[in-house]
Structure 1
C-alpha cells in the first residue's frame, strides 16, 4: 500500500574492538564510568594492545592525548572508546593513533595501538570502556558478557528509536 510507513526498530551490533573479557560498566573502578556520566556500555579487560573499529562509521574525534576516540555510525549512534583509566595523564605516551577525525572506518580497521607495559606501569588500569555517549536517544542497549574476540563477537546490541 502506498502512503503507509511502518516504523521499524533498527538494531546495531557493536563488535568487540579487542580481545579480552567483558566487565559491567557499573563494576569499573572509576565513578565517571561506573555511574554512566559519560555514557552507557561495557568495559573490556584487554588481552592485546591493538584497538580495532567496532563499527562501520566515521571517526568524529581523536583526543589530543591519544587515549580515547569517538566514532559515529550512519544512524547516529555515538561511541566513545577510552583506553585505560587515568590515561589522560600520560599525554599521549604509549599510544599510536592510526586514524584522524573525519576518517571513514569499517569494522576491523586499526584505530589505536598502545604499549601495555607503559600503561601497566603508569596508568590506574588497562580497562577499556566502550560507551554509547548518546544512550538517552536509544530505545535499548543489550550488553553481552564473557570472553570476546575482536570483530567475531558482539559486545552490545543497540536498538535505535
Structure 2
C-alpha cells in the first residue's frame, strides 16, 4: 500500500557566487534602489575580477542591451537580477562583453558577461555588484551563507528553501 498523504519534500536552491570578490550587505550599496531593496533583496559583491558566471542552472530571462545587467531564472523558478556596478547603464555597453543572450540555457559556472573593471572605474562608476532575488513569493527561507572573500562559480553565497 502507498501513502496518499506523503509530505512533498521542499526544493532547495544553492546559489554560487557569480563574481569573485568580497560579499557586502546590500544596505551598503551606494544607490537607494538597491540599498533600500526596492528592486529585491539579496547581497552585493565588490568584484576583484571582471567575469560574471551563472550562479545556478537555469535560463537567461533578459540580457540588457548594454550588457551591464542580466536577469536569470533557475530551473526551480527563482528569479535573479545581477547588476554589474552602479550607473553602468551610462557606459552604453562599453567595457562589457556578453557570452550569452536572452533565452539561452545556462549551467552553474557558465560565463555570462566579462567586464573591464578599469573602464567602469575610469567612468566614475562604483563596481559593487548587487545580486537581487526579484520574486520572493516562491521562497520560504533565505540564508546568506557567505561573508568576506568568495570565488565565482565555487562558493555558495545564498541557500534557498522554496515553498
Would the TM-score normalized by the shorter structure come out above 0.5? yes
For residues 148 and 26 of structure 1, the distance between their equivalents in structure 2, rounded to whole angstroms, comes to 19
* Cα distance change, pair 21–9 in 1 and its aligned pair in 2 (3 A): same
Instruction: Give the TM-score normalised by structure 1.
Output: 0.95
Number of positions where the alignment pairs a residue of Structure 1 with one of Structure 2: 161
3-state SS, counterpart of residue 44 of structure 2: strand
Q: Kindly indicate whether residue 121 of structure 2 is the aligned counterpart of residue 120 of structure 1.
A: yes
Cross-structure match for 1:149: 151
For residues 133 and 96 of structure 2, the distance between their equivalents in structure 1, rounded to whole angstroms, comes to 23
Listed as ranges, the matches of 1:3-18 within 5 Å are 3-18=4-19
3-state SS, counterpart of residue 2 of structure 1: coil
Aligned CA RMSD, in angstroms, stands at 1.1
Cross-structure match for 2:95: 94
For residues 15 and 116 of structure 1, the distance between their equivalents in structure 2, rounded to whole angstroms, comes to 21
For residues 134 and 106 of structure 1, the distance between their equivalents in structure 2, rounded to whole angstroms, comes to 21
Deviations 1:69-109 (A, max 9, x none): 01101111001111000001111111011101110000111
Mapped contact 2:77–2:138 kept (Cα < 8 A)? no
Structure 1: unaligned runs, 5 residues or longer:
none
Q: CA deviation at 1:145?
A: 1.4
Query: Which runs of at least 4 in structure 1 moved beyond 4 Å after TM superposition?
Result: none
Instruction: Give the TM-score normalised by structure 2.
Output: 0.94
Cross-structure match for 2:52: 51
Q: CA deviation at 1:123?
A: 3.9
For residues 30 and 140 of structure 1, the distance between their equivalents in structure 2, rounded to whole angstroms, comes to 26
